[in-house]
Amino acid sequence: MENETEIRVLDEVGSTNDEALSLGRAGAAHGLAVAARRQTAGRGRRGHAWDSPAGNLYLSVVLRPNVGPERLSGLAAVCGLGALEALSALGATDVLLKWPNDLLARGRKISGILVEAARDTRGETFAACGIGVNVERAPRGLGATCLEELGAQVTLPALAQGLRARLCERCDAWAASIRALVEKDGPLTPVLDDYLAHLAWLGESVVALSPAGDALCTGRLATIDAWGRAVLETPYGTRAFSAEQASLRPLA
């Protein structure tokens, strides 16, 4: 990958999100990105390790949407939509969102997204959006796929630039819309229809799993609400789960 003004490229790094958070705390501008050919300490949600072999893309973007901290929870869905659009534009087919913001291609995971918020030295809130994309290889035994398996021919520079551009565009549009909302409106309100239109397993039977992997309940995935909660219709009534409370898996 060639270095670009907006993307700092590293051969190897512990975590691109850690690098982006450090740059953001020092005042890095909205849209500055860090890309790496390999991570040695990549991570996903809840601190899960992210396998980061060479040949795939690891990218983190500093985002400054200038919205209240209580609204930032909507940014993960926004970034998921931006990443989906970028991959689809580069030839990945049948890409869907896996709640809350990972990406599936033909039913298998192709990308993981992690959004982390922090404050800079001026006290301003910003976020680092980290994305790992399986380009040349997919982790074995995890039901994953990669762009090469899908027949999408992409270069790492084009993928990095495409992702960065779509994340910034989506973030800017969402931030402009969110500032016009009233307090009772949830942070996903401006993008909810679009998010649901690209959501995997909507209307299907799923199981909600606790962070420890225990089954919390099964039911039909009815919707995602404006606060980002998965709403399941069960034989015992409606249940709503935040992304911190549960993850979803389809029932076989």
Q: What is the pLDDT of residues 216-227, one digit of tens each?
A: 999 999 999 999
* 184-211 per-position pLDDT tens digit: 789 999 999 999 999 999 999 999 999 9
The reply to whether domains 7-193 and 201-250 share a CATH topology is no
**How do residues 67-115 score in pLDDT, each as one tens digit?**
988 899 999 999 999 999 999 999 888 999 999 989 999 999 999 999 9
pLDDT of residue 27: 96
Over residues 146-164, the pLDDT tens digits come to: 999 998 889 989 999 999 9
Domain boundaries, the chain: 7-193, 201-250
Sheet with strand 57-63: strands edge to edge: 7-13, 33-39, 57-63, 125-133, 108-119, 102-105, 95-98
pLDDT band, residue 52 (cuts 50/70/90): low
Strands 95-98 and 57-63: unpaired
pLDDT for res 51: 54
Element (H, E) at 21: helix 16-25
Class (C level, CATH) for 201-250: mainly beta
Q: Give 238 or 101, the one with higher predicted confidence.
A: 238
Selected residue with higher pLDDT from 44 and 237: 237
How far is residue 27's CA from residue 176's CA, in Å, rounded to a whole number?
22
pTM: 0.91
CATH domain 7-193 topology: BirA Bifunctional Protein; domain 2 (3.30.930)
Residue 75, C-beta contacts closer than 8 angstroms, at least 6 positions apart: 63, 65, 115, 127, 129, 171, 174, 187
Task: Label residue 203 exposed, middle or buried (CB < 10 Å: 0-12, 13-18, 19+).
Answer: exposed
Strands (E), 124-241: 125-133, 205-209, 215-224, 230-234, 237-241
Contact 28, 127 (CB under 8 A): no
Q: 69: cis peptide before it, omega within 30°?
A: no
What percent of the chain lies above the pLDDT cut of 90? Answer: 74
